[in-house]
Amino acid sequence: MATRKPVRSKAFKAGLATRKKVLGADYVDNAFKTADPFSRPFQDYATECAWGTVWTRPGLSLRDRSLVTLAQVIALNRPAEIRVHLRGAIRNGISKTELSELCLHSFLYCGGPASLDAFHAISAMLPEIEKLEKAAKKKKR
């Protein structure tokens, strides 16, 4: 029995484009490529609902959404999600100074452990993200 490609909504298509713009096509393509029958519905849902319905709204810029998202995952103390959204923040123009200030500001409102985990996650990932972004820019030329 042949499997059919699912019909994709406008929100899914817009979400896929936004997700690739923010996180990088390589990250998104890999997320779908490595998804299995258990995790694929999550990838589809996140792309359509989070990225296609919320991230595409006109009320906040992608840059602002990245900063807000990082603040929220810092508050939730989710270093793995910090790593995911850090690349998006860099791609959307958030500077190292702003990242440092965000972590320091988070100390006041989220607590020391969450802020410290964020500092560690961001410090560890920045060199790799900068390398990925530099390679992506070279590839576009």
Average pLDDT per block of 10 residues along the chain, 141 residues long: 72 98 94 96 96 97 97 95 94 96 96 95 94 84 77
Q: What is the pLDDT of residues 59-72, one digit of tens each?
A: 999 999 999 999 99
**What's the whole-model pTM score?**
0.87
Predicted local confidence at residue 135, as pLDDT: 86
Rounded distance, CA 112 to CA 138, Å? Answer: 39
Predicted local confidence at residue 2, as pLDDT: 56
The residues spanned by each domain of the chain are: 10-59, 60-141
Assign a CATH topology to domain 60-141.
AhpD-like (1.20.1290)
Q: What is the pLDDT of residues 78-102, one digit of tens each?
A: 999 999 999 999 999 999 999 999 9
Rounded distance, CA 76 to CA 81, Å? Answer: 10
Predicted local confidence at residue 44, as pLDDT: 96
